[in-house]
A and B are shown apart, each in its own frame.
Chain A
Amino acid sequence: MSEPGALPAGVERRVIDGRERLATRGEAVYGEPTDGPWRAWDPNRSKLGAMLESGMDTGLEGGETVLYLGAASGTTVSHVADVADATYAVEFAPRPARDLLEVAEGRPRLFPLLKDARQPETYAHVVETDVDAIVQDVATRGQARVAVENRRFLADDGRLLLAVKARSEDVTRDPDEVFADVLTDLESAYEVLEERRLDDYHVDHLGVVARPR
């Protein structure tokens, strides 16, 4: 194991465009600032980026097999694929999936899937077992259930890296209450190791690191 809170191999803090930022090596995809092969990882556009930036211990070391739920346009996925090995990217909406395809074109170990993360049986015939990490950022109600349902893919010593969006559960409730409920619902399948508000980068979001029970 690496030391707690360490960045995964392949993610570095580098000065790009006059400011120290997280960066990975790979093909640029969304107009982010670059320095040679390095491309800045903007924590304001990526919840996983925000979790790393705020020092959460993600347990990632680089070279993992990853299942990414809620890949959207592939902003975060592109960085994950830069440092991970096989990366399965699940996205349900066709429009963002089109951008995700552009990201996947240049990354031979990134596998885009147009699937609903709430129905893992529709992609269990493609996604392999015992993945090292599940990264989840789905803007739908029932975020805890999605994580629990997808537990079947995760290795027993793997990590769930979850960004909870309070507004997706219930816009009218106090985010703290929503987060408490989500954490309770997670308990049937996961042990929560760390949780932190990501408000510096994403309003009303909670970052969670958990491991399977």
Chain B
Amino acid sequence: MNESERAEAGWFAAVDRDEPDSVRRALENGRADGPADWPRLAVEAGFAADEDAYYDSLHEATVTATRAAVTERERADDRQLVHAVRAMDDCRRTANELAERLAEWAGTLEAEAGTGLEYARVLAARDPEPHESAVVSLAGRVVDLADEADDLHALVERLAPTVAPNLSALAGPVLAARLVSLAGGLESLAKKPSGTIQVLGAEDALFAHLRGHAPSPKHGIIFTHDAVRGTRREDRGSAARAVAGKLAIAARVDHYAGDYRPELETELTERIETIQARAGGADGADDGGNDE
């Protein structure tokens, strides 16, 4: 490869300096198999007067492009995740409600009508006779909504680990997304004490308790976490507290640091094993990783 061909691979080759976007595109999307003496090549190609001027340009370009990329990635991700998980829940709830309506209606038309989404799929696949065309059409919409919910579920599973790697590792992508959604964003989740995270999603029970006519709720949405659900009733409060504590730390690491820390998961597993060991292997601890 000769010198000018090498220079073609440099970030500065295709840059139009009057257009900030071209700098960012060049830095972000450019590739090269190996490095080269870019400062010298840039000077030879007439991009900069000398190496000092080249480094000045490089500094300005990297700071500007990195700032734009950071802002975009930070802004996009947690809101996208919140919308995705809310849309997923809406689609699923609506699909289930309509499936019930459908079963009731279809029951008036044929004796052996089934129920639920499964029956909606059977109906939707049918070539309708004239008297049932409306029912079959509705079944088609129900199936579409259920499929949409599945697609959104896949999207949540893809987004959550990039938005909140630690929270997703500890809670699973869907629960992680729900917590971010309930808090209204990753930043506000990161600022909540673990006691609040423990009862997120149990607001009705919490306010009933605060009004003085109910016991305090032990857990909110985190009840869906295996470590909570898989622990026997007497110890569920402890398990919920342990899980909420680690999730609070995970959310803070995700928001303020952003790197993945596998030790959080190990610490939580150990703590849950200790809590579940109180049952003495008696009962209720069969799906929480209490293998010993």
Chain A residues packing against B (C-beta within 8 Å): 72-73, 86, 93-98, 100-101, 104-105, 108-114, 121-122, 124-130, 139-140, 152-153, 167-168, 171-172
Contact A94 B62 (CB under 8 A): no
Contact B69 A125 (CB under 8 A): no
* B-side contacts of A127, CB under 8 Å: 35, 38
Q: Find A110's partner among B56, B59, B73, B263 (CB 8 Å cutoff).
A: B59
A121 and B33 CA atoms in complex are apart in Å by 5
* B-side contacts of A128, CB under 8 Å: 35-39
A160 and B163 CA atoms in complex are apart in Å by 32
Contacts A128-B38, A152-B34, A152-B35 aside, 20 further interface pairs with beta carbons under 8 A come to: A72-B259, A94-B73, A95-B257, A95-B258, A96-B258, A96-B259, A97-B66, A100-B66, A110-B59, A112-B63, A114-B69, A122-B30, A124-B31, A124-B35, A125-B11, A126-B62, A127-B35, A128-B35, A128-B37, A129-B38
Q: How many residues of B contact A (CB 8 A)?
A: 40
Closest to A105 in B: B63
A125 and B14 CA atoms in complex are apart in Å by 12
Contact B66 A112 (CB under 8 A): yes
Contact B34 A101 (CB under 8 A): no
Contact B30 A126 (CB under 8 A): yes
Contact A125 B266 (CB under 8 A): no
**Counting CB contacts under 8 A, is B70 at the interface?**
yes
Contact A94 B69 (CB under 8 A): yes
Contact B74 A129 (CB under 8 A): no
Contact B38 A126 (CB under 8 A): yes
Scan B235-274; emit 1 where CB is below 8 A from any A CB, else 0.
Answer: 0000000000000000000111111111101100000000
Closest to A121 in B: B31
The 9 closest A-B pairs by CB, nearest first: A93-B258, A95-B258, A125-B32, A129-B35, A124-B32, A125-B30, A111-B62, A94-B73, A171-B266
Contact A168 B262 (CB under 8 A): yes
A104 and B66 CA atoms in complex are apart in Å by 11
Q: Please give the distance in Å from A175's CB to the nearest CB on chain B.
A: 12
12 example contacts (A-B, Cβ-Cβ < 8 A) are as follows A93-B259, A97-B66, A108-B55, A124-B32, A127-B35, A128-B37, A128-B39, A130-B37, A152-B34, A153-B35, A167-B262, A171-B265
**Counting CB contacts under 8 A, is B27 at the interface?**
yes
Scan B12-56; emit 1 where CB is below 8 A from any A CB, else 0.
Answer: 000000000000001110111111111100000000000000011
Scan B119-154; emit 1 where CB is below 8 A from any A CB, else 0.
Answer: 000000000000000000000000000000000000
Contact A122 B31 (CB under 8 A): yes
Q: Please give the distance in Å from B225's CB to the nearest CB on chain A.
A: 20
Q: Find A94's partner among B10, B58, B74 (CB 8 Å cutoff).
A: B74
Main secondary structure of the interface of B (DSSP, over half): helix
Chain B residues packing against A (C-beta within 8 Å): 9-11, 26-28, 30-39, 55-56, 58-59, 62-63, 66-67, 69-70, 73-74, 254-263, 265-266
Q: Please give the distance in Å from A36's CB to the nearest CB on chain B.
A: 26
A-B pairs with beta carbons under 8 A, tally:
108
Q: Find B34's partner among A105, A108, A124 (CB 8 Å cutoff).
A: A124
Closest to A109 in B: B55
Contact A94 B39 (CB under 8 A): no
Q: Please give the distance in Å from B255's CB to the nearest CB on chain A.
A: 7
Main secondary structure of the interface of A (DSSP, over half): mixed
* A-side contacts of B37, CB under 8 Å: 128-130
Q: Please give the distance in Å from A150's CB to the nearest CB on chain B.
A: 10
A167 and B266 CA atoms in complex are apart in Å by 10
* A-side contacts of B70, CB under 8 Å: 94, 97-98, 101, 114
Most buried by B among A73, A97, A126, A172: A126
Instruction: Knowing A124-B33, A152-B34, A168-B262 are in contact, say whether A95-B255 is a contact too (CB < 8 A).
Output: yes
A161 and B55 CA atoms in complex are apart in Å by 24
Q: Find A113's partner among B66, B74, B254, B257 (CB 8 Å cutoff).
A: B66
Q: Find B259's partner among A105, A113, A139 (CB 8 Å cutoff).
A: A139
Q: Find A126's partner among B27, B63, B257 (CB 8 Å cutoff).
A: B27
* A-side contacts of B66, CB under 8 Å: 97, 100-101, 104, 112-114
Q: Please give the distance in Å from A58's CB to the nearest CB on chain B.
A: 22
* A-side contacts of B258, CB under 8 Å: 93-96
Q: Find B32's partner among A104, A113, A121 (CB 8 Å cutoff).
A: A121
Q: Please give the distance in Å from A115's CB to the nearest CB on chain B.
A: 9
A113 and B258 CA atoms in complex are apart in Å by 16
Most buried by A among B30, B56, B265: B30
